[in-house]
Amino acid sequence: MKYVALIICLQIVATFGFPTDRNAEALRSAEKAYHTALGQVLINVDQLSRALQSGRPLSEIREIHLSTRLAFKEVEWLMAFNDPQSVGRLLNGAPLPKTEQHVPEVTVLAPKGLQIIDEILFSEVPDRKEVAKLIDQFRRDFQRCASMAESRRLQHRMVFEAAREGVVRVYTLGLTGFDTPGSVNALAEGRRAMAAIHSALRGYDDGSAEFNELNIAFARAGELLAVNDFNTFDRLQFLRDVINAITRASPQVQGLLGIERSEDDARLPRATNSEAPYLFSPDYLRAGYYANLDEHPRASARRALGELLFFDPLLSKDLTLSCASCHDPEKAFTDGGRAEVLRNAPTLINSVYAEKYFYDLREEFLERQVKHVVVDRHEFNTDFLTIEKRLRQSPEYVEKFAAAYGDQPAYQLSKWSVSDALTHYVASLTAWDSEFDRYARSETDAIAEDVRRGYNIFMGKAACGTCHFAPTFSGLVPPAYTESESEVLGVPAGKIWSGARIDGDLGRVVNGRPEDEAYFHRFGFKTPTVRNVAVTAPYMHNGVYDDLDEVMKFYNLGGGAGIGIDVAHQTLPFDSLSLTDPEVQDVIAFMQSLTDYEGLNHRPRVLPSFPQRPEWNERLTTY
């Protein structure tokens, strides 16, 4: 055994090299600064608590609160990487209630931490008692989290990967205003966080061109963020000048220094890919992670089989519907507003990137999604046994299942292999090459000015980016991208702009998952992507709006509350966004620049035949 251990050690050294003295000193320095910064947060929290107890003026309390948040930003990037659950649920989560997941009852978790404190303190009439209570709770929670953080030995990998994730956090949650719902002190906090991350990395500076690129990018971040005007800040310039350089160079530096990566350990699966150079790279998010698919020698055969099944009406009871009937590739895999089912069909393009599926988030696994369609009486209205028997009557299908699943004889043609093949196909429907994507990756320097303005409004003043997160522009929450959000918007039953009535679909609260049966999930629906939104009308879960002007009007008025609907737990801000008509058109221009489906809009020319049932061979005309 000792020889085996020696061989393993030598293999590790051959791959990564021995840590240099410089690396070891850099890690000790980063760890020391981290522990000091943890203590500073507690000092600030104590100052905030005393200021409240002594009845100091609101303006002074707000200033101490902002200083506390700035101190927290120096540690959040590393703390959240190592303990995301505690940071998200206790220290700096969204100011909305949640439910405990994977339990057989409703357990409501009240919002805690700095975001809810920020929201209350910067309201018109803050509840000082509630703030004092929240601060006291934050102190206790932070002390526990800090103790755990101080007892955990940092690794080189943690510093580099937390740094990369941290800059994505700054860009997607910080600079959008998501993280500062009351104060909107986003740019100052972003500057402090970027400086802390750069400080931790600086000790590793090996003089390489790659590290010099990092230094230049962080310096540029400080320059751009020094102009503290939230509404006019150019987030697209910041993406190209700063974020792109850091996400590209940091893994290169990590490799040059011989520091291991999460990808090198199969026990540490991550949704993001550190080898992808940009946030908007096609492989920045791992489709296989979400679809629960490993790389497999027969993957291409399984995708091809799944494509045939997707377009085959044989899967429905009366051979009149296929998956493509409601997810038409010529309509970016939507239905164009079919009236046969309760909800408007969302696009399948990039739909794999989600924690849960369907508008009501009732399904955790993509491979089980087809089950709901098969048994639904408004859709396929059949069962897998019938589907399997039908498929076995086609020699071509039997042959294709054998080719795709021959290594698993028991599952060659079964409920599992049918579902798995469809999963492979749906997971392959990804598109990251729109006009905007190419500009975001600096592959081109040409972008229309209205698109530039629209993106900056979308990610800033209009607050669209606080629910439709980059880069998917859906409810998939950065920077870990492992949680899908739902929102309560107060969508009306009809196109009425005053005195409206809410649509009767209760959404998430009736999805069949016990933990979602909470009052604040009533009328809640998964946040869809706005990619390809220009070609996926009608809009909203019930298809109530026919064009993007109507959608923008709804949001600009303040959602359901703005058109007369009383929803106590609406998550969309009730007040108007105050966007001018030109600003609305700029946002629409940006969303139109996200169109990218032409490479996916083909259909199979011929479906497998059924010699014993020739009447089935005409089914090509039915989808």
pLDDT (tens digit, 9 = 90+) per residue, 560-617? 999 999 998 999 877 789 999 999 999 999 999 999 999 999 999 889 999 999 989 8
Q: pLDDT grade, residue 436 (50/70/90)?
A: very high
pLDDT of residue 13: 40
pLDDT reading at 4 higher than 50: no
Q: Summarize the confidence of residues 472-484 as an average pLDDT.
A: 98
- Provide CB contacts within 8 A for 298, sequence distance 6+: 403, 404, 405, 406, 407
pLDDT of residue 67: 98
pLDDT reading at 77 higher than 50: yes
Distance of CA 287 to the CA centre of its chain: 12
Q: Summarize the confidence of residues 247-267 as an average pLDDT.
A: 90
The pLDDT tens digits for 324-369 are 999 999 999 999 887 667 899 999 999 999 999 999 999 999 999 9
Cα distance between residue 63 and residue 59, in whole Å: 6
**Do the Cβ atoms of 524 and 467 come closer than 8 Å?**
no
pLDDT of residue 149: 96
Q: Summarize the confidence of residues 157-163 as an average pLDDT.
A: 96
Dihedral pair phi/psi, residue 507, rounded to 5°:
70, -130
Q: Could you say which DSSP state residue 410 is in?
A: G
Distance of CA 11 to the CA centre of its chain: 36
Q: Could you say which DSSP state residue 469 is in?
A: B
- Provide CB contacts within 8 A for 502, sequence distance 6+: 490, 491, 492, 493, 523, 560, 565, 567
Of all residues in the chain, what percent carry a pLDDT higher than 90?
87
Q: Which of these, 167, 175, 189, 157, lies nearest to 245 by C-alpha position?
A: 167
Distance of CA 376 to the CA centre of its chain: 28
Dihedral pair phi/psi, residue 338, rounded to 5°:
-60, 145
**Dihedral in degrees, nearest 10, Cα atoms 315, 319, 322, 328:** 170
**Dihedral in degrees, nearest 10, Cα atoms 322, 327, 328, 333:** -150
- Cα torsion angle, 523, 171, 597, 349, sign: negative
H or E stretch at 486: strand 486-488
Q: pLDDT grade, residue 268 (50/70/90)?
A: confident
Cα distance between residue 36 and residue 545, in whole Å: 53
pLDDT of residue 162: 97
Of all residues in the chain, what percent carry a pLDDT higher than 70?
96
- Cα torsion angle, 144, 147, 153, 159, sign: positive
pLDDT of residue 448: 98
For the chain, what is the largest distance between any 2 Cα atoms, rounded to a whole number of angstroms?
A: 87
**Do the Cβ atoms of 327 and 348 come closer than 8 Å?**
yes
Q: pLDDT grade, residue 489 (50/70/90)?
A: very high
Cα distance between residue 225 and residue 228, in whole Å: 6
**Do the Cβ atoms of 158 and 31 come closer than 8 Å?**
no
Neighbouring CB atoms inside 10 A of 393's CB total 14
Could you tell me the end-to-end alpha-carbon distance of the chain, in angstroms, rounded to an integer? 61
Considering only CA atoms, give the Rg of the chain: 26
**What are the structure tokens assigned to 378, written together?**
């408004």
Cα distance between residue 241 and residue 217, in whole Å: 7
Cα distance between residue 540 and residue 544, in whole Å: 6
pLDDT of residue 576: 83
- Flag the least confident range among 19-28, 65-74, 147-156, 445-454: 19-28
pLDDT of residue 339: 63
pLDDT of residue 266: 72
Q: pLDDT grade, residue 15 (50/70/90)?
A: very low
Distance of CA 111 to the CA centre of its chain: 20
Distance of CA 31 to the CA centre of its chain: 30
Q: Which of these, 318, 364, 359, 363, lies nearest to 341 by C-alpha position?
A: 359
Give the HSE-up count for residue 67: Cα atoms under 13 Å, Cβ half-sphere: 16
Distance of CA 530 to the CA centre of its chain: 13
